[in-house]
Amino acid sequence: MKKTTLSIFFLLYCINVFSQSVRDIKSNDWTIHLNPTTKKLTYSFKGKKIIEEAYAKVKVNTDTLYSSDYADVKLTSANISDGFGKGKRFELIYSDKAKPTLKQYFYFYSKRDYFSTETVVESKGKISSNYLAPICSDNTNTFLQKSASNRGLRVPFDNDAFVPYLSKPLNEAITSFEVSAIFNGENRNGIVIGSIEHDTWKTGIKYKGINDQSIHKLEVYGGITDELTRDISDKEDRPSAEHGSISGHRLKSPKIFLGYFADWRKGLEEYGKANAIISPPMKWDEGTPFGWNSWAAMAAKVNYEGAINVSDFIKKELQTNNFSNDGTTYIVLDSFWDNFSDEQLLQFVAHCNSNGQKAGIYWCPFSDWIGNTEAFVEGTSNQYHYKDAYLYSQGKPRKIESLAMDPTHPATKQRIDYFIGKFKKLGFKYVKIDFINNGTLEADSFFNTSVTTGIQAYNEGMKYLQEACGDQLLMALSIAPTFPSQYAVTKRISCDAWGSINEDDWGSTGYMLNSLSFGWWLDRVYPFNDADHILLHKDGQPLNYQEGSNRARVTSAVITGVYIIGDNLSEKGSFVGDPIARERTKSFTSNSEINDIARIGKSFYPVEGYTAPQPNKTERVFMYETDKEVYVAIFNFNKEEEIGNIELKRLNLNSNQIKQVKELWFGNEVTIKEGKLPYTIPGQDVRVFKLAKKI
């Protein structure tokens, strides 16, 4: 009798364990619970429900399938080991006789606080899709305490057209691209969710904030097209396009990262590192690029004699006065370098080399700016006309600002060979690559018929370009998508930036800092973020760009990464600069301790992240910590002087850790008072503090 009873209990125990294993996935601090009735999932972290009643959604041919509609669900697991470390993969298999099989994979690693997930649809017959969503939830999900400081982050798809990052109150609809963060500004708790694969899909994250606390109608999916991906337009000369479809017997979504973090800022940095594990950044061992670029002030009037004179000025006045890194300064000819003859270009490179500089140049590999459709494409031996290499939608050429060229077309590739080969032969060491978001556009078709999405085409074109540049040319991206990110050493973090500090001006220091406020973590996927050229003077307008604005502009660059000045510093040639530009450049780029920040080569991050004035402005306090120091940069965008304090605890510090505080622009020592860093900043100016730690 006792034996029978024990057997029954053992059987019931086994059944219970089996049912639990089907319903629940547990790893680290995460639990994923499958509701056996609704077939939907609840994601919980340390017992806190993060996303409830979630499901996968896919479009297959003309049908839309939901994981919650499937009859049967099975769970399997396997040990894994890859670039993320050792862990376990769980597989939920949704099956139904009348439908393709749907699978959802979850990847957990022993030393990671986040997990990743992806959805796969399989069929014996060939299927097609341009929409795969691993995570959707119609529920109202509440994982933050109610607070006016709660925010949802909108990340732009690219850095074109002055589109800002948005840290929006959690009471509005948000569409973000590739990644979003949803967080409490005061205690910094929050989630980061986004794609960590960028080989096929443009990923969208959509949700609606409710009552400063919750999110509703969450949708994370591969297959977004939007005005901000440049695929949707109401302009007559810019036909729209849907996201391309992938086809086969097995279709896979992008892999989605999800983590709940005590500090959302560290969460975004972990997200960046996760991307870098899958697609490692370009290797670069030569330090932060310092240099000069012709576009800011010379623009279309760049000329040989003037550029030579600029090179000499930088050699004599700047390189000997702290403006260089590892003994190198780049002198970059931007657009209109074709004002030079080939012989002048060769001589320009040689002159830069003799001055201990490296010469740079500019190019747009996926753009036709002329629009002569019958012209032969350079490098193709008159085999292809430009019209042969365009991307088309609805039978019309695709366009953002310039006509878009198919990255997979042999004419585009031969044109790359022609120009990159020319630059290398002339001896250039740096190439600024611009308007390459053209290469991400969706199209009716691509020359390579195995390519069916804009991101697939972009990857093919950029891989070809990178291999053409090789180790000889530092590739610096200008207007470009944020992802994929593995093809260049630097990427400009914003659109064009000039010298005004005013937050409301397009291209101002305030505008540029908006991108740093919420995109600083991109220095995990690129070796360097680039704040664009630094303009300190406007010819004929001596009252513009005053001292405070100039300090702010230089500071904005050195706390971002790449350090490129841009004034017209020439005294010779066909377009002579104002002497004031030389004086200001010497004055503002020779502060050794400020320049040392640039040599660190890392981006500062926001102290808060929720205090940026709405709708699209910047944070004003940034920080960066090393083993020996904590740097704090405080900007004042107002016209009136500002006096205040920053509590050290918001910097994750206390008074006992600090032995000295120094303001770096003026060299003044500062005293910590009652656990606070005091500051006084004149109108439209900046102060940068170095807090030396007790070691």
What values do phi and psi take at 188, rounded to 5? Answer: 75, 0
- According to DSSP, residue 612 is labeled S
CA-CA distance, 605 to 264, in Å (whole number)? Answer: 12
Task: Please say whether the beta carbons of 315 and 357 come within 8 A.
Answer: yes
Of 369, 294, 379, 378, give the one whose Cα is nearest residue 339.
294
Predicted pLDDT at 14: 38
Of 246, 320, 295, give the one whose Cα is nearest residue 534.
295
H-run or E-run covering 155:
none
Predicted pLDDT at 13: 38
Could you tell me the maximum CA-CA distance found in the chain, to the nearest angstrom? 107
C-alpha 147 chain-centroid distance: 28
Q: Is the peptide bond before 615 cis (omega within 30 degrees of 0)?
A: yes
Task: Please say whether the beta carbons of 209 and 171 come within 8 A.
Answer: yes
State the pairing for strand pair 150-154/166-169: antiparallel
Task: Please say whether the beta carbons of 129 and 252 come within 8 A.
Answer: no
pTM of the model: 0.95
Q: Which two tokens stand for residue 332?
A: 């970059």
Predicted pLDDT at 542: 63
Strands (E), 227-341: 246-252, 256-261, 290-293, 329-332
Sketch out the chain's domains with CATH numbers: 28-278 (2.70.98.10), 606-693 (2.60.40.1180)
Angle at 532 between CA 361 and CA 345, to 5 degrees: 15
H-run or E-run covering 365:
none
To which residue do tokens 């609805």 refer? 394
Low-confidence residues of the chain: pLDDT under 50: 1-21
Beta bridge partners of 654: none
CA-CA distance, 334 to 320, in Å (whole number)? Answer: 25
- According to DSSP, residue 318 is labeled I
Q: Which two tokens stand for residue 409?
A: 């077309």
To which residue do tokens 């003994």 refer? 327
Of 211, 195, 301, give the one whose Cα is nearest residue 253.
195
Of 674, 620, 612, give the one whose Cα is nearest residue 648.
674
Angle at 324 between CA 319 and CA 329, to 5 degrees: 90
CA-CA distance, 466 to 139, in Å (whole number)? Answer: 44
Of 162, 55, 39, 115, give the one whose Cα is nearest residue 497.
162
What values do phi and psi take at 466, rounded to 5? Answer: -60, -45
The radius of gyration computed from the CA coordinates of the chain, to the nearest angstrom, equals: 27
Task: Please say whether the beta carbons of 567 and 536 come within 8 A.
Answer: yes
Q: Which two tokens stand for residue 102?
A: 């749907």
- 3-class SS at 32? strand
Q: Is the peptide bond before 365 cis (omega within 30 degrees of 0)?
A: no
SS in 3 state form for 527-585?
CEEECCCECCCCCCCCCCCCHHHHHHHHHHHHCCEEEEECCCCCCCCCCCCCHHHHHHH
The dihedral over CA atoms of 166, 170, 175, 178, expressed in degrees to the nearest 10, equals 70
Strands (E), 46-202: 48-60, 63-66, 72-82, 85-95, 101-109, 115-129, 132-141, 150-154, 166-169, 173-177, 179-184, 190-195
Residues near 216 by beta carbon (within 8 Å), at least 6 away in sequence = 138, 139, 140, 141, 207, 208, 209, 210
Q: Which two tokens stand for residue 527?
A: 């070796």
Angle at 57 between CA 51 and CA 63, to 5 degrees: 160
Ramachandran assignment for 637, one of left (phi > 0), alpha (psi -120 to 50 degrees), beta (any other): alpha
CA-CA distance, 401 to 127, in Å (whole number)? Answer: 35
C-alpha 144 chain-centroid distance: 26
Of 580, 527, 537, 529, give the one whose Cα is nearest residue 556.
529
Predicted pLDDT at 201: 98
**Residues 376-401: pLDDT tens digits?**
999 999 999 999 999 999 999 999 99
Task: Please say whether the beta carbons of 179 and 195 come within 8 A.
Answer: yes
**Residues 627-678: pLDDT tens digits?**
999 999 999 999 999 999 999 999 999 999 999 999 999 999 999 999 999 9
To which residue do tokens 């291999």 refer? 467
- 3-class SS at 23? helix
CA-CA distance, 564 to 330, in Å (whole number)? Answer: 8
Beta bridge partners of 464: none
